[in-house]
Amino acid sequence: MDAFFASAEQASKPSLRGKAVVVGGLGPRGVVATASYEARVFGVHSAMPMAQARRLAPNAAYLVPRFGFYRSISEQVMALLRALSPLVEPLSLDEAFVDLEAGGAAWDEGSARLVGEKLRADIRAVTALTGSVGLAASKMLAKIASEQAKPDGLVVIDPGTERELLGPMSVRILPGVGPATGDHLRRAGIHTVEEIVEAGEDELVRLLGKAHGHGLYAMALAHDERPVVAERETKSVSVEDTYDVDIHDRLRVGMEVQRLADRCVRRLRGAGLSGRTIVLKVRRYDFSTLTRSETLRGPTDDPAVVREAAARLLESVDTTGGVRLLGVGVSGLADYTQEDLFAQAAGDLGELPEEEPGEVAAEKDEAPVERRWVAGHDVTHAEFGHGWVQGSGLGRVTVRFETPDSEPGRVRTFRVDDASLAVAEPLPLVAVGGGVAASGLRPDSCSHPHHP
């Protein structure tokens, strides 16, 4: 899924089509989650500090993510993939592998191409977004093919051509080669995949260790035997917030940990899970990160138990100098709750507070930017209908009133407490002008190792 968040926003907001759009945390410490192609022209890219993005593209539209909206689109695409094969491996909202042979959908290059083209057409029809597909004999190569297919394309890597294709590519193209490994290889004079092969397996083992060296050398030879795994077991549930200004007050740190514990339990319950191990994460003013954990006698989804455990863990952490990030998680998951753990919490069990209107979930490590009127989020007005927040401040909120199938809408400004204005749910996307609203969905596709 290429520039997925930004493409989905362009599709749902007619006034942003063809414009630079940046999605991410809007606070001083926010980072870019996704930038549209139009924004990338100015050098904006994902994981960039939002302050730097604003300097590069001051006239772009800056929006807070709508994760629920993106998830709903992702689920539509995943359903299309599961119709092709029982072996679908979602890696995130914007990436998935499919074993086409397992479902009998494809058995040679010709049938694989037909499946890929039909998938792209189905994505266009169902989501109003375009898609690109990569087809190859392994997961690694399918991923590379999907990148080559962008935007709105299909690429097949023919068996027997893999080594020639990979040779001149940067070592960073290989799975498991991040910035640290890439720098380590570069210092050894290894910049391309072919140079990994030339260096030899023994040298890779010497540089990176036995397991990593063996694995990387095999990848450089285009050997990737990793199967498509249909179900990935959830190992933990967690939430975390990054704060615009370091928190120095110990009392407020404690209150934030309690709030995060409640949010974590809401997410835990929403997944129908409970857990035995409570985890606290603290990133201090100097960027040092501390993690503390406590394992209970059995699994729980009781907010009071999680709050108490998180508070105990916080007691062992020195927050002198300030805190820039806090997180609470639960691991050791189970699909049941051990009732006698309730006794660990003093007093009543307590009810979880409701989510605040407009609160942004912590998937992107970003604290809520607005309590109610969040840039890019949906609203409705008693007179003007559906719209989205362009910005707010000084007691005012600016709204552009438009829908996915309307013309670019008009902008109006209201008092933040205007009773006629309310938070709304996103509207579904629709095709525009016989084409598509925006480009963006790129599910990677992978076949069995014995056919394209």
Residues noted as catalytic:
95
Q: Please report, in angstroms and rounded to a whole number, the separation of the first and last CA atoms in the chain.
A: 21
In the sheet where 61-63 sits, what is the strand order? 32-35, 21-24, 61-63
Give CA–CA dist 68/425, Å, rounded: 9
Q: Which two tokens stand for residue 247?
A: 């928190």
Residues with Cβ within 8 Å of residue 110, at least 6 apart in sequence: none
DSSP class of residue 354 equals: P
Q: Minimal CA–CA distance to 382: which of 418, 346, 329, 429?
A: 418
Angle at 103 between CA 99 and CA 107, to 5 degrees: 75
Going through 301-437 in order, the beta strands assigned E by DSSP cover 323-334, 378-381, 385-393, 396-401, 410-415, 421-423
Q: Which two tokens stand for residue 119?
A: 């998938």
CA atoms within 13 A on the CB side of 218: 14
Phi, psi for residue 303 in degrees, rounded to 5: -60, -35
C-beta of residue 156 within 8 angstroms of C-beta of residue 109: yes
Angle at 221 between CA 217 and CA 227, to 5 degrees: 90
Give the residue carrying structure tokens 């140079």: 195
Angle at 227 between CA 223 and CA 231, to 5 degrees: 155
C-beta of residue 358 within 8 angstroms of C-beta of residue 262: no
Please give the full DSSP string across 242-282, using - where no structure is assigned.
EEEEEE--HHHHHHHHHHHHHHHHHHHHHTT-EEEEEEEEE
